[in-house]
Structure 1
Amino acid sequence: MTANAGVAGAGDGVYTESAAAMWTNPATMSYMGESLTTINLMAFDLKMKFHDADTPAQDGEAQSYLPSISIFHAHQVSEKVHLGLALGAAGGSSLSYGDDWAGAGALDSITLNVIVLNPSMSYKINDQWSVGGGVQFSWAAFEQTTKLLTAEQDTDWAYGYNLGVMYRPTDNIDLGLSYRSKSEHEFNMDVKTPLGVSDIDSLKTEVDVPEIVDFSIRYGINPDLNLLGSIQFHRWSAWDETVLDLGTPVGGVAIKREWDDVWKFAIGADYRLNSDWRLKTGFSYETSPQDDPEKQWVDLPVGEQYRYSIGASTNWDDVGIDFFYEYADLGEVESAKRSIAGGPGVGVNGIFDGRIHFLGVNFTI
């Protein structure tokens, strides 16, 4: 969910010209006036390639195109209090490698969609300080298939909260600090298999979304140019393993993750070209949560990420329109086979290479 479209997320926790900023920091609503509504329309093109180190004929490729819509509304109910509501896709993707690639025994296709409803409130202490908080209701749908198993879609609700504070010492400087709690989704999926093994008829697993801490800043060099920055901390270290429980007497199979915490750094600029147009650009970098090839897994190979973004905004009558494009370089991630529960090596030997194209527009009234 992008507030200031075109700057790679830089300064989202202090941006007050889009109601979408409440997602990162609910305290921003105190500076949004009497009423502000933002509709975000976005589509992305995700591609993952796998280059097999053992048998090139078992290379794999998966690609998906997904649209999304998010809606945000902030409304002032008193001199000091704003109420807000955010509804939209908070994450997820769909990938299908087919059953001919090297990792088909562990993953053929996977789909995860997460939609969040996040009511929130802000309180303006004075002209310089505001605080905010909200409750998140997260709905997720998950399904996965391998060459031998089909785990049918299951859905789950999870709950959490978010908090934020914003400080505006002068008209040229905004500072924001916010926190979003962890969400834990549990899925219990019916399983179909051509093996005829009656004991395998279900799959239980969990998908976690980590805690996020965001620090954002805006510095207005002059009335035409704003510099933006953000530092985020994603607490992925809490995700030690994924347990796949097939309901057999053997018990669950644990896939070791042992991820590290992730840091994201974003910088951007917002420049007024003339009375009709503003131009924007941004860049962000995320550290890798896992650098050990034997602890990468086919469902979510991860490494360093680099994002490059450009955008432009204008007004049509009373409607603000922000166009943006963003390219995410997911880098090259080396994967190696591992032993699970003392068995033979499973997984894949090779390199995953991924990228995402994002294209979208925000309408703000």
Structure 2
Amino acid sequence: MSTNRLPSITSAVSTKQSSNLSLSRLAMMTSVALASSLPTMASASGLFLQEAVTANAGVAGAGDGVYTESAAAMWTNPATMSYMGDSLTTINLMAFDLKMKFHDADTPAQDGEAQSYLPSISIFHAHQVSEKVHLGLALGAAGGSSLSYGDDWAGAGALDSITLNVIVLNPSLSYKINDQWSVGGGVQFSWAAFEQSTVAIATKQDTDWAYGYNLGVMYRPTDNLDLGLSYRSKSEHSFDAELQTLPLSVSTEIEVPEIIDLSARYGVSEDLNLLTSVQFHRWSAWEATVLDLGVANGVAIERDWDDVWKFAIGADYKLNSDWRLKAGFSYETSPQDDPEKQWVDLPVGEQYRYSVGASTNWDNVGIDFFYEYADLGEVESAKRSFVGETARAGVNGTFDGRIHFVGVNFTI
């Protein structure tokens, strides 16, 4: 997404040529431009839209930390593998349609709209190697996307296109203590690549590896009740991308927060399961995004986010011998409610997700269809100038967004 106007950047470059503007000042101006368009590698729900790695998307991810019918549950809680039998493989296929709109509070003619389509695939496999031990491997892949509001909106200027590609490999292990308790853990290897351009400046593609881990425990006191608690550590990507037209490179570090998940399943009857999850996303550690071009002190986008809580509920109902029907809802709190601290690269607020799904079996293959609508809400942004070397929001108006998700998961 974009922010400050390109004319200011172009003017800065022109001024440098005519009046010998210092390189450090040019670096400062370029940092501001890049600050608006660099992918932040994050949303209120984390780097990866969680639907790409959700085990039970038809219920908005409710109970994912205890859902043992899909190998994808190992992503949320590796301890679930102990209840997956001899071998279980799941392939998640998904696509989404993201649309963001901006309504200018000062000049309606400067409204803007951006849209992006993105497919993804994730693969999960759990295998029992002994009576008590399961090994698992999760591979999540997400393609790049581009967003452009055009040249006429109030924040026009810095962004022409952004491409972000991420692949995450997460091997894990679970140990079954007894019929009621299991524990698990895994290691996360995250590879990311990005490239972005504007009509004035562009970066060359840069890549980076980041590392983390996840832990979990699952408790099954009866056949009708499952409880799971899991933790995924934060990971940090560092980029140092060269600019294509200027003798500069931009460096920045982006953190993906740690996540704690508490999940439960209650079997009301043989045909009906109720599921729920509560998640804590530690976004308060993300105070600012600092961009450094090496010849200046850098520019900091002030985030000052709060921690995010996510609540999800869902139901899974056996309609007949062939089909199960699913429905779910989730709500996420807002990490930032101050309009003067909203930044156009990532306007964030409360999020609401509504999902439905249906699953069936074809021979020995489980097929799980789902659709989900994510309401990203309305986010107010108030223009504010720079304070020292800290960048603030650059538009007056309201952002609102939504996402359509559609997918199918295959489990063998």
Do they superpose with TM above 0.5?
yes
**Could you say which residue in structure 1 is the equivalent of 2:305?**
259
Distance 1:191 1:54 in 2: 34
**Deviation, structure 1 residue 273:** 0.2
Of 100, 108, 112, which residue of structure 2 is paired with 1:48?
A: 100
Higher helix share: 2
Moved more, 46-55 or 104-113: 104-113
Structure 1 residue 82 corresponds to structure 2 residue 129: no
The answer to whether the aligner puts 1:187 opposite 2:233 as a matched pair is: no
For 2:300, give the aligned amino acid.
Answer: A
Query: How far off is 1:102 after superposition?
Result: 1.8
% identity of equivalent residues: 86
> 1 CA distance for matches of 2:302 and 2:144?
21
- For structure 1, the 5+ residue unaligned runs are none
The alignment partner of 2:59 has SS state of: coil
**What's the offset of the Cα at 1:337?**
1.6
Following TM superposition, by how much is the alpha carbon of 1:259 offset from its aligned partner in structure 2, in angstroms?
Answer: 0.2
Contact preservation (8 Å) 2:119, 2:143:
no
Structure 1 range deviating more: 204-213 or 123-132:
204-213
Cα contact 1:323–1:360 (8 A) shared by 2: yes
1:242 corresponding residue in structure 2: 289
Q: What is aligned with 1:152?
A: 204
1:337 aligns with 2:383: yes
Deviation at 1:95, TM superposition (A): 1.8
1:91 Cα offset (Å): 8.9
The separation in 1 between residues aligned to 2:221 and 2:144, in whole angstroms, is: 38
1:348 to 375, 395, 411: 395
2:250 is aligned to 203
Correspondence list, 1:207-218, <5 A: 207-218=254-265
Cα-to-partner distance string for 1:249-291 (whole Å, 9 max, x where unaligned): x320011000000000000000000000000000000000000
User: 2:302·2:392 contact (CA, 8 Å) conserved in 1?
Assistant: no
2:359 — aligned with what?
Answer: 313
**1:285-300 map, 5 Å:** 285-300=331-346
Q: Distance in 1 between matches of 2:313 and 2:277?
A: 7
Give the TM-score normalised by structure 1: 0.94
Q: 1:300 & 1:110 partners in 2: Cα distance?
A: 13
Distance 1:362 1:242 in 2: 36
2:227 maps to 1:175: yes
Residue 231 of structure 2 aligns to a residue whose secondary structure is strand
What is the letter of the counterpart of residue 276 of structure 1? D
**CA apart distance, 1:219:** 0.1
- C-alpha distance in structure 1 between counterparts of 2:162 and 2:340, whole Å: 21
C-alpha separation in 2, matches of 1:168 and 1:285: 26
Moved more, 81-90 or 230-239: 81-90
The whole-number CA distance in structure 2 between the counterparts of 1:113 and 1:329 is 24
- Give distance in 1, aligned partners of 2:196 and 2:394: 16
Q: Describe the SS at the equivalent of 1:12.
A: coil
Residue aligned with 2:340, SS: helix
Higher alpha-carbon deviation: 268-277 or 337-346 = 337-346
* Match of residue 115 from structure 1: 167
Task: Please say if residues 110 and 299 of structure 1, whose CA atoms lie closer than 8 Å, have aligned partners that are also in contact.
Answer: no
RMSD, aligned CA = 1.7
The answer to whether 1:103 aligns with 2:155 is yes
Runs of 4+ aligned residues of structure 1 deviating over 6 Å after TM superposition are none
Deviations 1:45-80 (A, max 9, x none): 001111111222221111111111100000000000
Q: What is the DSSP-based 3-state SS (H/G/I as helix, E as strand, rest coil) of the residue aligned with 2:57?
A: coil
- TM superposition shift of 1:106: 4.3
Quote the Cα distance in structure 2 between the aligned partners of 1:142 and 1:168: 43
Alignment of 1:216-231 (within 5 A): 216-231=263-278
Q: Amino acid of the residue matched to residue 265 of structure 1?
A: F
1:155-207 Cα distance to aligned partner (Å, 9 max, x none): 110000000000000000000000000010011111135xxxx55x2111122
Residue 111 to residue 358, structure 1, CA distance change in 2 (3 Å): same
Which one-letter code corresponds to 1:204 in the other structure?
A: S
The alpha-carbon distance between structure 1 residues 316 and 34, as it changes in their structure 2 partners (threshold 3 A), is: same
Bigger shift: 45-54 or 265-274? 45-54
In the alignment, structure 1 residue 6 sits paired with structure 2 residue 58 = yes
- Cα distance in 1 for partners of 2:305, 2:232 equals 19
CA contact (8 A) 2:360 2:366 kept: yes
Structure number having the greater strand percentage: 1
2:6 is aligned to none
Match 1:277 to one of 320, 323, 348:
323
- Structure 2 CA distance for aligned equivalents of residues 353 and 262 of structure 1: 19
Distance change in 2, residues 1:131/1:55 (3 Å): same
SS in 1 for 2:243: strand
Structure 2 distance, partners of 1:54, 1:147, is 25
Q: Structure 1 residue 137 and structure 2 residue 189: aligned?
A: yes
TM-score by length of 2: 0.84
